[in-house]
A and B are shown apart, each in its own frame.
Chain A
Amino acid sequence: MELILGRADSARPSRQRPESPPLLHAVGITKMFGAFKANDGIDLAIRPGEIHALLGENGAGKSTLVKILYGVLQPTEGRILWKGQPVGVPNPSAARRLGVGMVFQHFSLFEALTVVENIALALSDRKSRSALAREIEKISLEYGLPLNPSSVVADLSVGERQRVEIVRCLLQNPELIIMDEPTSVLTPQEADDLFVTLDRLTARGCAVLYISHRLEEVKRICHHATILRHGKVVSECDPQKETAAKLATMMVGAEVRRLSSDLPPPQNTRTRLSVRDLSLPQPHPFAVALNNITLEVKAGEVMGIAGIAGNGQDELFDALSGERTCGTAALVSIDGKSCGNIGVTARRRLGAAFVPEERLGHGAVPRMRLSDNVLLTRHATGDHLLRGGVLDPDAARQLADRVSRSFDVRKGTPDPEAGSLSGGNLQKFVVGREIDRQPGVLVVSQPTWGVDAGAAAIIRQALIDLARSGSAILVISQDLDEVLEIADHVAVISKGHLSPSRPTSGLTREEIGLLMGGMGEPLAADRGAVHAG
């Protein structure tokens, strides 16, 4: 994820775990959901002034543990010691009174309310709005978290929303802040800003419990790590002394499969997906206009599009998938057939498949079962899901089962609602649903967003295998390591412009970084202005 180069880790002081008695000590925490043990005798000791990483695959029990510490869930067994004293945490207000704050992965903000109203809701003491607004401004200056107290949350960017959550936490003078995957929604710059804030916090003796999938990041900022697997603590370590591969192995329990792309990308094959000189205006004021996008993906290859979030990736995806059509058919073509002016289903009929970035709400309907979700993208592509125009639920269920089996989708019941799957499992399902079709062209955005190492490896391998079987794959990803790992060619998108593509072999991340850096300069200038303001 480190897109900014030349930021040496040596600039940071070496991180020593502070020697002090634990601030919070969870002893023998067990949580049962029916017969399922989500947490199994977990011990966790967090010291004041440390950033303590909690690592584990999706479904390892991290979220459950954190919810127990914050009082959202009650443990079936076990106790919590706060500064050595046993305490009960019956609800989040009790946790806040103790001095525990939490920044949620999916933000717990009220979109229709303003920043100051959102923060007032989390505070127990009743201050006037204007006094609170002044306090928000003071804290946000102190920790480098610029915010306008009177903005409505619905109008804020993801990074700004996170700042609201953090400021809300800080106003309660917490001694422990729990952060659930805080960087999964941030741009690399925003993540760097967050790390600066975390350093300021720990310098004042505040402890941070830090949940993340990003091992490089954990290595960079955390003092100590506790690793969970299947609800149990399997290891504790100093993440700076371990390699990312070693950490991943501890999480998954076996060596993370290295990707194999034994076959080199075929040469001189036919073009299966092409875009010529595509320009589209902004659909709304917060979107990016596309400027003269030209790209070509050949049979058998994976093409990667790298870039910092919000530079036109969403708009490009919509134009490729047909969610947004363009007036001239010839601008986009699939297997030589012009399709710029036709919609998603028509493009699927041409042999293309699409996996959007947001799995909940865009890639899948949360309240519908997996078998129904299968129907949504595959009803029109000759999968025999319809019999004489009538849905065949058995066929849909069989198809959902096949996808679940081949992509190791772990689920509680045979045909659960999509929204009940954990993020990583749903992502495997959403990607697997399209790959299962063996599409000629696959466009996928952020294929492994918020997914653990094991599941990411499965998804990436499946993408490579599909390409080698003759399909053309376009991967839009903000994860540079992912792009370098699976793509044969890479192009960079910046402010709606797409760079010419280059072969990945022989290309180093520094070179891509320079490409991004060169194109990203105006962005950095914008950011400076925001910070000054």
Chain B
Amino acid sequence: MTALMLEGILLTIITAATPLLFASIGELVTERSGVLNLGVEGMMAMGAVIGFAVAHSTGNIALGVVGAIFAGMAMAALFGVVTLIFVANQVASGLALTLFGLGLSGLIGDAFVGVPGAGLARVSIPGLSDLPVIGLLFRLDPLTYLAVAITIAVSWFLFRTRGGLILRAVGDSHVSAHALGYSVIRVRFMAVLFGGACSGLAGAYLSLVYTPQWTQAMTAGRGWIALALVVFGTWLPGRVAVGALLFGGVSILQLHAQALGVGVPSQFLSALPYLTTVIVLVIISRNRALVRANTPAALGQSFVPDR
């Protein structure tokens, strides 16, 4: 019984962490290129609704996931055009993107409210999935595996490939990167699109796996948490993944604690994940050298080539 309960808790933690991981890894890549996209919440909401709509009308969940990726990328492309080509302020444009995404997703999703959806089936890896407790890690849905794969791939790309080096260079000093002949705008646009695709996946995870249905504003602030996690993880993929698990873990454990009737006000327990995030952020910011070495120096600055 306890092993089963432990498995249940573990599973809920992982499913709570996965959408955060998708969104924050995408935002991490965007920010490493020097662009601050505050529209994660909006892109996630669009991913969620388009993912659900496509899956429901075609009956094919995989198509739904692809639809969600494209929805996130379309939103990101809009942001990219506005901030990179028309050089609008990134903070204001990102906030607008969130409001726009939440509103538009509500409009599109109106017809789907209350429609039951089909969840994505889990994939069992033979042999490993029968192990006690940790066997659970090999009986997850495919999107969770994808999130882990993306995290590893991003880490490898950023620090082991030339493309990743160029991306970090553009985020460190766009003027120098331009002087060396790299196309700052193109690199950033691609990073923004990747961020959008990941946010779309995060949304699809919510509406196709986490709670297989559509409700308005079902992202419930996860986009903002993802943004905080990027800072929390000092722009390093591994740390961001740990942050996502920690936040997911605390938010699930407090639910269980509430269910068990621990003598602590429920409001305090609900605030616990946020409180934990703030405290860890403060502790991490104390290591100035680490933060300085990894913060993209050009973050949020618009680039206009002088020619």
Contact = CB atoms under 8 A, between A and B. Distances in A.
Interface of A: 71-74, 91-94, 96, 104, 107-113, 117, 120-122, 126, 152, 154
Given A113-B165, A121-B165, 20 more contacts: A71-B181, A73-B306, A74-B307, A92-B179, A94-B181, A108-B175, A108-B179, A109-B173, A110-B169, A110-B172, A110-B173, A110-B176, A110-B177, A112-B292, A112-B294, A113-B168, A117-B169, A120-B162, A152-B293, A154-B292
A108 B180 contact: yes
Contact of B176 (A74, A109, A117): A109
Nearest to A106: B175
B101 to A, nearest CB: 31
A121 B176 CA distance: 10
6 contacts: A72-B179, A109-B173, A110-B169, A112-B293, A121-B180, A154-B292
Given A96-B181, A120-B162, A108 B294 contact: no
A110 B296 CA distance: 10
A111 B165 contact: no
Could you say which of B177, B180, B293, B294 has the most chain A C-beta atoms within 10 Å of its C-beta?
B180
Contacts of A112: 168, 172, 292-297
Contact of A122 (B180, B296, B307): B180
A92 B307 CA distance: 13
A309 B166 CA distance: 34
A147 B298 CA distance: 26
A92 B181 contact: yes
Chain B interface residue number, banded: 20 to 34
Contacts, number: 59
A125 to B, nearest CB: 11
Contacts of B177: 110, 121
A72 B306 CA distance: 9
Nearest to A91: B181
Contacts of B162: 120, 126
A113 B169 contact: yes
Contacts of A113: 165, 168-169, 172
Contacts of A110: 168-169, 172-173, 176-177
Contact of A108 (B176, B293, B306, B307): B176
A71 B178 CA distance: 11
Contacts of A107: 176
Contacts of A117: 165, 169
Interface in B15-38: none
Q: Does more than half of chain B's interface fall in helix, strand or loop, or is it mixed?
A: helix
Nearest to A120: B165
A121 B168 CA distance: 11
Contacts of A111: 172-173, 297
Nearest to A73: B307
Contacts of B293: 112, 152, 154
Contacts of A122: 180
Interface in B158-208: 162, 165-166, 168-169, 172-173, 175-177, 179-182
A93 B181 contact: yes
B246 to A, nearest CB: 26
A109 B173 CA distance: 8
A154 B182 CA distance: 21
Given A112-B168, A113-B172, A104 B179 contact: yes
Interface in B256-307: 292-297, 306-307
A491 B113 CA distance: 81
Top 6 A-B residue pairs of the complex, sorted by shortest distance between their CB atoms? A93-B181, A108-B176, A92-B181, A110-B172, A108-B179, A112-B172
Contacts of B168: 110, 112-113
A111 B173 CA distance: 8
A481 B295 CA distance: 42
A192 to B, nearest CB: 28
A66 B294 CA distance: 33
Contacts of B175: 108
B181 to A, nearest CB: 4
A158 B296 CA distance: 21
B104 to A, nearest CB: 35
Nearest to B294: A112
A482 B56 CA distance: 79
A489 to B, nearest CB: 41
Contacts of B173: 108-111
Nearest to B293: A112
A80 B181 CA distance: 19
A72 B178 CA distance: 8
Contacts of A104: 179
Contacts of B307: 72-74
B218 to A, nearest CB: 38
A111 B294 CA distance: 11
Contacts of B292: 112, 154
Contacts of A74: 307
A121 B169 contact: yes
Contacts of A91: 181
A104 B180 CA distance: 11
Contacts of B179: 72, 92, 104, 108
Contacts of B294: 112
A422 to B, nearest CB: 14
A72 B162 CA distance: 23
Contacts of B297: 111-112
A113 B293 CA distance: 8
A237 to B, nearest CB: 31
Contacts of A108: 173, 175-176, 179-180
Interface string B73-85: 0000000000000
A498 B177 CA distance: 42
A20 to B, nearest CB: 29
B100 to A, nearest CB: 29
Contacts of A93: 180-181
Nearest to A71: B181
Could you say which of B168, B294, B296 has the most chain A C-beta atoms within 10 Å of its C-beta?
B168
B89 to A, nearest CB: 14
B295 to A, nearest CB: 8
Contacts of B181: 71, 91-94, 96
